[in-house]
């Protein structure tokens, strides 16, 4: 594995057995259009299931290899061995049409952060120092982190509420990997994981909810309570260990033992997520009926700021984009597609701004100016 | 004629007669296989090496706490401190202690339901069979069908289960659900 500086970011080797999975030829993460098209949200939100209230769906599976200590206990050479074994395995599923391996250990901080902002790797994976890599599918909807907390963390993303199709693709990937790798399993505890609270299915099913109306009506505490009653974890914009940014909340399962993957996916799809969506839609109706002028004022004031400002901090950007998103979803704003707002929510983040500049991470003031310029240009 | 090793064609350097359960057998091993089985051999470099090796063994045993995982050396104290297990075999070594931790974290659930790797299909089938027999045994006893219960008990024994499982586990009904799912 290359240990040189930042170029190239990806591991271009094509080990035996990877077959037709050619390395992706385009520049690193052609962000923006590729992301929007592949994840289906560039055209607007109307055709995306629950796209008005659900930003994205995500499923991840934790897997570990037989014969190796877990990552927290393994030696550097064992971790390298795990990387090589996974890289020599045919990934299948969403990786059939192309895979890009990124050697995270040898990648510049700005690029690691970019992958994190795009939800392709986790925060601890950005900051770790041991041998690790990530496989990213050409359409950026799937990734396999090697040597995160577990040897493998398989993850898939889709816009809106699309957990069933995601699960189907995830199971295909799991089965493909199972043909090439021996996963640690115990008949009682199921798939074995480094953290004993993840054993069993090793699955984490989550939905990123957009709940601005509930926030305006000061009913988010009720949401938190409902989530707790349903044994769900509530997290922020970037999952575990992050705070909620603006009106975005990620809900995910905490129980991984005693229920099948399909059972859990069905419950999220048919009952849990629709319940939060229904709360939010009821709050939006209440806001419209109670005082439409006041709602419009909040929405268009936010849009006015975004179209006029010259310096914009990240939390402000997320807050105002959230209000504009609400206006678009309710049809109050008709000249901005929902997909554009979703894309801006990604592109206003620091590593995205840095990549757009073609440089390193900026200081706060540079970022604020660049962020304001980006949004003004996009919403003109 | 020189004896060769029982495990390979090399000349044997250890010759021993072992009596086990009244049956006498001869053991002949080469240096390599003898060492693997724990024999201490006279060495060209003299007794120092043997003492060194012995010391090494004593030291590594001392470095590893008595109740550590035999594979990775993790103890339950480490698991409690870090929240992380050391290796897949820890789950066998600390099965009871981890089972309690897991059950608390998983809203009382204690048996996996869902997909499994292809290599574990037999394990899952056996576990499912054990759970089914245990449930039938419980039902037979509750209906006082003792003849049937005795047969079920024998079948349970034959596949490595214990009749006490049928009555000890509050999760027995859940456990039967381990049948569902597959990696395919």
Using CA atoms, how far residue A241 sits from A54, A114, A121, A123, B137, in Å, is: 21, 18, 14, 9, 47
- The answer to whether the beta carbons of residues A100 and A13 sit under 8 Å apart is no
Of the given ranges (A65-69, A71-75, A173-177, B58-62), which has the lowest mean pLDDT? Answer: B58-62
Q: For residue B37, what pLDDT is reported?
A: 66
Comparing CA positions, the residue from A347, A342, A373, A357 lying closest to residue A37 is A342
A94-138 per-position pLDDT tens digit: 898 889 999 998 999 999 999 999 999 999 999 999 999 999 999
**Residue with token string 């035996």:** A16
ipTM score of complex: 0.82
Check if B69 contacts A (Cβ < 8 Å).
Answer: no
User: Of the candidates A125, A147, A135, A144, which has an alpha carbon nearest to the alpha carbon of residue A74?
Assistant: A147
Q: Which chain B residues are closer than 8 Å to A186 by Cβ?
A: 88, 91-92, 112
Looking at the DSSP assignment, which residues form a beta bridge with residue A248?
Answer: A210
Q: How many residues can be counted in chain A? A: 380
> Given an 8 Å threshold on Cβ–Cβ distance, is B106 in contact with A255?
yes
Closest CA to A28 of A94, A93, A107: A107
Determine whether the interchain pair B114/A261 forms a contact, defined as Cβ–Cβ distance below 8 Å: yes
B31 at A interface, C-beta within 8 A: no
Of B33, B24, B35, whose CA–CA distance to B5 is shortest?
A: B33
Residue B46 falls in which region: left (phi positive, over 0), alpha (psi -120 to 50) or beta = left
Residues from chain B that touch A70, judged by Cβ atoms under 8 A, are 84-88
Q: Which residues pair with A11 in a beta bridge?
A: A101
Closest CA to B129 of B178, B163, B168: B178
Instruction: Count CB neighbours of A81 within 10 A.
Output: 16
Which of B86, B78, B30 is CA-nearest to residue A149?
B86
- Whether B46 has a pLDDT exceeding 60, the answer reads no
Give the whole-angstrom CA distance, residue A31 versus residue A35.
6
Using a CB–CB cutoff of 8 Å, tell me whether B131 touches chain A: no
* Minimal C-alpha gap between A309 and chain B (Å): 46
Which two three-digit tokens encode residue A264? 């859990």
Interior angle at CA A199, CA A196 and CA A201, nearest 5: 165
Q: Is the CB of residue A72 less than 8 Å away from at least one CB of chain B?
A: yes
As a whole number, the mean pLDDT across chain B is 73
Q: What is the pTM of this model?
A: 0.75
Give tens-digit pLDDT for B86-114. Answer: 999 999 999 999 999 999 999 888 889 99
Strand A54-63 and strand A203-210: the pairing is antiparallel
Is A75 at the interface with chain B, CB within 8 A?
A: no
Taking the CA of residue A131 and the nearest CA in chain B, the distance in Å comes to 18
| Averaged pLDDT, A141-160 | 96
Contact B120 A149 (CB under 8 A): no
Q: Give the residue from chain A lying closest to B104, CA to CA.
A: A197
Tell me which DSSP letter residue A237 carries: T
Residues of chain A found within 8 Å of residue B180, distances taken between Cβ atoms: 260
Query: What's the helix, strand, coil split of chain A in %, to 5?
Result: 45, 15, 40
Residue A182: its pLDDT value, please? 96
């Amino acid at each position: 594995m290359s240990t040189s500086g930042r170029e190239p970011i990806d591991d271009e080797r094509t080990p035996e057995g990877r077959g037709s999975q050619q390395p992706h030829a385009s520049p690193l993460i052609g962000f923006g259009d590729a992301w929007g098209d592949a994840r289906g949200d560039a055209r607007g939100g109307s055709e995306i299931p629950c796209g008005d209230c659900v930003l994205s769906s995500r499923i991840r599976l934790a897997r570990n290899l037989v014969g190796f200590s877990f990552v927290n206990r393994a030696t550097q050479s064992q971790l390298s061995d795990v990387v090589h074994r996974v890289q020599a395995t045919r990934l299948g599923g969403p990786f059939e049409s192309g895979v890009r391996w990124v050697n995270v250990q040898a990648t510049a901080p700005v690029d690691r952060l970019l992958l994190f902002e795009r939800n392709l790797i986790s925060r601890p994976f950005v900051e770790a120092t041991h041998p690790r890599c990530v496989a990213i599918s050409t359409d950026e909807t799937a990734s396999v982190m090697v040597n995160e907390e577990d040897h493998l963390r398989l993850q898939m993303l889709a816009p809106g509420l699309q957990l069933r199709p995601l699960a189907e693709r995830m199971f295909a990937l799991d089965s493909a990997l199972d043909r090439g790798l021996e996963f640690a399993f115990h008949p009682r505890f199921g798939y074995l994981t480094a953290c004993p609270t993840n054993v069993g299915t090793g699955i984490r099913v989550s939905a990123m909810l957009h709940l601005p109306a509930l926030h305006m009506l000061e009913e988010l505490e009720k949401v938190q309570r409902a989530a707790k009653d349903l044994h769900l974890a509530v997290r922020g914009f970037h999952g575990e260990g992050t705070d909620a940014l603006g009106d975005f909340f990620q809900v995910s399962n905490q129980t991984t033992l005693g229920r099948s993957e399909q059972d859990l996916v069905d419950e999220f799809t048919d009952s849990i997520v629709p319940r939060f969506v229904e709360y939010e839609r009821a709050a939006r109706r209440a806001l419209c009926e109670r005082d439409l002028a006041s709602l419009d004022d909040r929405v268009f004031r936010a849009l006015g700021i975004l179209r006029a400002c010259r310096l914009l901090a990240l939390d402000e950007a997320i807050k105002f984009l959230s209000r504009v998103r609400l206006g678009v979803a309710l049809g109050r704003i008709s000249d901005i597609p929902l997909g554009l707002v979703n894309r801006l929510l990604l592109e206003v983040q620091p590593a995205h701004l840095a990549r757009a500049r073609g440089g390193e991470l900026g200081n706060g003031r540079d970022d604020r100016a660049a962020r304001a310029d980006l949004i003004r240009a996009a919403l003109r | 004629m020189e004896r060769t090793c029982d495990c390979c064609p090399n000349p044997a350097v250890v010759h021993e007669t072992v009596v086990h359960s009244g049956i006498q057998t001869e053991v002949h091993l080469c240096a390599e296989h003898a060492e693997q089985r724990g024999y201490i051999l006279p060495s060209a470099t003299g007794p120092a090496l043997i003492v060194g090796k012995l010391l090494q063994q004593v030291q590594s045993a001392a470095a590893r706490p008595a109740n550590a995982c035999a594979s990775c050396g993790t103890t339950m104290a480490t698991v409690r401190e870090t929240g992380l297990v050391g290796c897949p075999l820890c789950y066998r070594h600390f099965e009871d202690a981890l089972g309690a931790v897991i059950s608390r974290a998983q809203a009382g659930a204690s048996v996996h339901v869902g997909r499994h790797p292809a290599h574990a299909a037999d394990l899952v089938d056996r576990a499912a069979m054990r759970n089914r027999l245990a449930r039938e045994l419980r039902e037979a006893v509750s209906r006082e069908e003792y003849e049937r219960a005795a047969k079920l008990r024998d079948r349970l024994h034959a596949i490595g289960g214990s009749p006490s499982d049928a009555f000890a586990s509050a999760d027995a009904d859940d456990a039967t659900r381990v049948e569902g799912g597959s990696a395919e």
